[in-house]
Amino acid sequence: MRAHRVLIPTLALFAAGSLPAAGRAQPAPGETAGRVIPSSAIGLKQSFAPVVKRAAPAVVNISSKRLVRQQADPFWQLFGMGAPRNRIEGSLGSGVIVRSDGVIVTNSHVVADGQEITVALADRREFPAKVLLADARTDLAILKIDLPAGEKLPVMAINDRTDSQVGDLVLAIGDPFGVGQTVTNGIISALNRTADPNGGAAAYIQTDAAINPGNSGGALVDMDGALIGVNSFILSQSGTSSGVGFAIPAAVVRRVVETATGGGRAVVRPWLGARLQSVTPELAKSMGLPRPSGALVADVWPNGAAARGGLKQGDVVTSVDGGPVVDAASLNYAVANHRPGEAVRVGVRRAGAEQALTVHAEAAPATPARDERLIAGRNPFAGATVVNLSPAVAEEVGLDPFGRAGVMVLKTAAGPAQQVGLQAGDIIRAVNGRDIKSVSDLTSAVVTPAPVWQFTIERNGREVTATVRT
């Protein structure tokens, strides 16, 4: 039975503060400064309660309601009965107050499509919340509640330094299964985990602190009581905690919070402008590399950041900003975590020699222009919102920016597009024998009704041709 990634409906994590001085041993030779293990049974009995008391007021509960269309049973539809009905779906989650005026961070999947969002503070007061920004790629959402005049809420500081280490103690505070606020403890099990269920570059913090349904969107906190991550998903065979949970790093959280509070409606992710391939043991052996680590530059976007910074096809990127590059995902994550315009120091192995290069973080090019439109009329695409596929759009939705240009379906509403089975992410390649390379091509191809429509779409790398009669 294999383990599954589970996006947890509700989740909150917090960490304890430093152990009191009593019971601490002096650092032994080779120990990391400031990190010691208990030296006696007395040390093991000491409490995390002071840090929990400090952190708990900044943890909130979040409930979200959305209206969904429930399809009727096909059996009863045969007799003209059982029309589709609307019903209310709800989700529960946790969040962390990151600004005293009521700015809160949580998971995007907690509030996805929410039409009514309520935040319950630690003192049990409830406030309606609005979404400032929701970013499915990072699974983060930023909420805002309106407070009585002059009131300031308790805040959890964001620690986006990179000094966390495997073995550091952490605590989790949340509301698992709706039983009420609960504290669990554990350690950082691993850093820079790149397995991402949302399809983006990431470097998750892995922890064995118990995370269960009811905790999503909560905080992973270090021994100084600061936020080091927001919990997003678990790996589990049962759907409950098996000690393998993953948190979105605080550096990503800060970027999303800054974007939302600065008025941004979308997170701009800098792009290296290179197609990357992780160095496998086979690649390392064939290239004469000392170890299977790094990211091979397989292609370079013309006049992109990588090209202007001097990166070339065949280079192996071994470090970024002084830290090692484990694989392609870790390099993409490191670059995406910069602000546009910032310099990124890159270590490269080229022809057996090490070189240091500097590239500047910049957004992926939006060429061709986005040209987002809702298709109308009597055609199979009516009800679909489409957009020109560019590196910027590909990065936004998690596709290969080096893929072919075309027209991508962003979403579908009730209508012909849904009836013929079009899905978000489909790329429209041809309509009635005409190649579709832009939104203008598509709108021209469907302007005149036809008795028969034949079209080709690309889905998950495979092309499918369908014929529809009207």
Query: What amino acid positions are annotated as catalytic residues?
Result: 109, 139, 216
Cα separation of 358 and 272, whole Å?
Answer: 11
Determine contact, residues 6/234, Cβ cutoff 8 Å. Answer: yes
C-beta atoms surrounding 357 within 10 Å: 17
3-state SS, the chain, equals CCCEEEECCCECCCCCECCCCCCECCCCCCCCCCCCCECCHHHHCCCCHHHHHHHHHHEEEEEEEEEEEECCCHHHHCCCCCCCEEEEEEEEEEEEEEECCCEEEECHHHHCCCCEEEEECCCCCEEEEEEEEEECCCCEEEEEECCCCCCCCCCCCECCCCCCCCCCEEEEEECHHHCCCEEEEEEEEEEEECCCCCCCCCCEEEECCCCCCCCCECEEECCECCEEEEEEEEEECCCCCCCCEEEEEHHHHHHHHHHHHCCCCCCCCECCCEEEEECCHHHHHHHCCCCCCCEEEEEECCCCHHHHHCCCCCCEEEEECCEECCCHHHHHHHHHCCCCCCEEEEEEEECCEEEEEEEECCECCCCCCCCCEECCCCCCCCCEEEEECCHHHHHHHCCCCCCCCCEEEEEECCCHHHHCCCCCCCEEEEECCEECCCHHHHHHHCCCCCCEEEEEEEECCEEEEEEEEC
- Does the N-terminal peptide bond of residue 368 adopt cis geometry, omega within 30 degrees of 0? yes
First to last CA, the chain: 46
C-beta atoms surrounding 48 within 10 Å: 19
CA distances from 191 to 246, 404, 406, 448 (A): 10, 34, 37, 56
